[in-house]
Amino acid sequence: MSLLIKNGRIITGDSDYGADIFIDGETVHTIGKNLSVKADREIDATGKLVFPGGIDPHVHLDMPFMGTFSSDTHETGTRAALFGGTTTVIDFVLQKQGHSLQEALAEWNSRAQGNAVGDYSFHMAVTDFNENTKKEIKVMVEKEGITSFKTFMAYKGALMIDDRQMIGLMEEVREQGGMVTVHATNGDMIDYLIQKHRDEGKLSPLYHYLSQPEVTEAEASERFVDMANYTGCPAYIVHLTCEGALNAVRNATRRNQKVFVETCIQYLLLDASLYEKDFEGAKWVMSPPLREKKDQETLWAGINQGLVNIVATDHCPFMLKQKKMGEKDFSKIPNGHPAIENRMELLYSEGVHKGKISLNKYVEVACTNPAKIFGMFPRKGTIAVGSDADIVIFDPNEEHKLSAATHHMNVDYSGYEGWQLTGKVKTVLLRGKIAIDKNECLIKKGFGKFIKRKKVSGKI
């Protein structure tokens, strides 16, 4: 099938111009002014912005965690992502301690294959680095196309690895052409503070926040950055939330070390005052927790300074009844919040429309950088001849309201209930197919493909 998008304003990470786009099959065939080609279908994009499909490199779909599963499957999660203009997601495979990476990958494949509506890839979370795991790193990079390895410096006793394992992993991943990513918070300190608050009978969601103060993130981020510098391993910090942690990254630039930074939409827009709402605060219980207003300003500035490279979501939804598992004890609230569908529209409305970031910066942090940093560029993350025709047609002026009553995520609340936004996703193409149009999803589960990724250099 061929498709012609006429009269749109095309925005990429570094350009902004009016042109038509001719798509033949899955990829962009021609871009030019007033194209006179015959296509099976034409879309008039007059007055609309046309940008690359969004890439959310941090989601947890159908993930076993804290005795339950996150409530979006690969089907419902990737479909909701498409409604919000995100065409590719990167999910996390979690190794079980004492088991192999291959076993974990087989488990995740069994849940994702044939179910995903949108395109997806995997990061491999290494929770047990040993001689066997070490041999599997090469297999993941060379054979499976999985080139990023996630580590946890927190969740002691479950997912956390120690610094000895971290250094060993970094050396091997560097050798194989991959990147180490990290949940950088000090697991021992947090473990101590959780126990202390529980012993004192301080059990409301507010104490989730108070058990993970800024210093726990700043300290771990600095340690991670130093270990990455020592080993020479390409490095990436997921869901960075605060000034102290960003300062560690800023300091590293003085020795010409580049550490990639991802923040998530909620850390730019929400703050810790939400935890004062008694149990309702559980809706925003996530790790790291929401921070202070001053941290939001630091993160917006970090985007414009090129220190924060990506805005993701850490989408990990739980139904309110799942959140209730922690009604009497904050440490039992499943961690996570839904945002996969809202990221692109929230970032546009709060970032571009309110004048905090430029349109090009918007595309860079939501679409292009995730593709570049994680080895999918230029197939994904841009609009160019030969690239996958993953395209969003966006009305920059339409106003609408976010609500659990109208969203497509499989979760019974919205973290942004009633928020009034300017700018709405109208039509979404995934590999040349119309995936979303007139608020309807036109492709089925199984359409989403696993995207094998290339080796990475740690530079963009």
Q: Residue numbers of the site for Zn ion (CB under 5 A)?
A: 314
Residue 295 or 314 having the CB closest to Zn ion = 314
Tell me how far, at minimum, the Cβ of 399 lies from Zn ion, in Å. 31
* Best CA proximity match to 447, nearest among 118, 155, 31, 183: 118
Q: What pairs with residue 310 in β-bridges?
A: 262
DSSP 121-178: EEEEE-S--SHHHHHHHHHIIIII---EEEEES-STTTT---HHHHHHHHHHHHHHT-
Tell me how far, at minimum, the Cβ of 103 lies from Zn ion, in Å. 21
Coil, strand or helix at 253: helix
Could you tell me if 236 and 259 are in contact, meaning their C-beta atoms sit under 8 angstroms apart? Answer: yes
Task: Identify the residue whose tokens are 């580590």.
Answer: 151
Helix (H) or strand (E) holding 18: strand 16-24
Residue 315 or 379 having the CB closest to Zn ion = 315
Distance in angstroms (rounded) separating the CA atoms of residues 200 and 187: 20
Residue 285 or 428 having the CB closest to Zn ion = 285
Tell me how far, at minimum, the Cβ of 312 lies from Zn ion, in Å. 9
Residue 314 or 345 having the CB closest to Zn ion = 314
Q: What pairs with residue 428 in β-bridges?
A: 392, 436
Amino acid at position 110, single letter: S
Could you tell me if 407 and 441 are in contact, meaning their C-beta atoms sit under 8 angstroms apart? Answer: no
Tell me how far, at minimum, the Cβ of 264 lies from Zn ion, in Å. 9
Residue 70 or 204 having the CB closest to Zn ion = 70
**Which residues does 389 contact at the CB level (< 8 Å), separation at least 6?**
3, 21, 23, 26, 27, 28, 429, 431, 432
Residue 72 or 314 having the CB closest to Zn ion = 314
Residues in the chain: 460
Tell me how far, at minimum, the Cβ of 60 lies from Zn ion, in Å. 6
Could you tell me if 391 and 381 are in contact, meaning their C-beta atoms sit under 8 angstroms apart? Answer: no
Residue 89 or 425 having the CB closest to Zn ion = 89
Tell me how far, at minimum, the Cβ of 413 lies from Zn ion, in Å. 19
Residue 172 or 314 having the CB closest to Zn ion = 314
Tell me how far, at minimum, the Cβ of 315 lies from Zn ion, in Å. 8
Tell me how far, at minimum, the Cβ of 41 lies from Zn ion, in Å. 38
Tell me how far, at minimum, the Cβ of 374 lies from Zn ion, in Å. 15
Coil, strand or helix at 69: strand
By beta carbon distance, the residue nearest Zn ion is 314
Residue 216, CB-side half-sphere exposure with 13 Å CA sphere = 23
Residue 9 or 150 having the CB closest to Zn ion = 150
Could you tell me if 283 and 316 are in contact, meaning their C-beta atoms sit under 8 angstroms apart? Answer: no
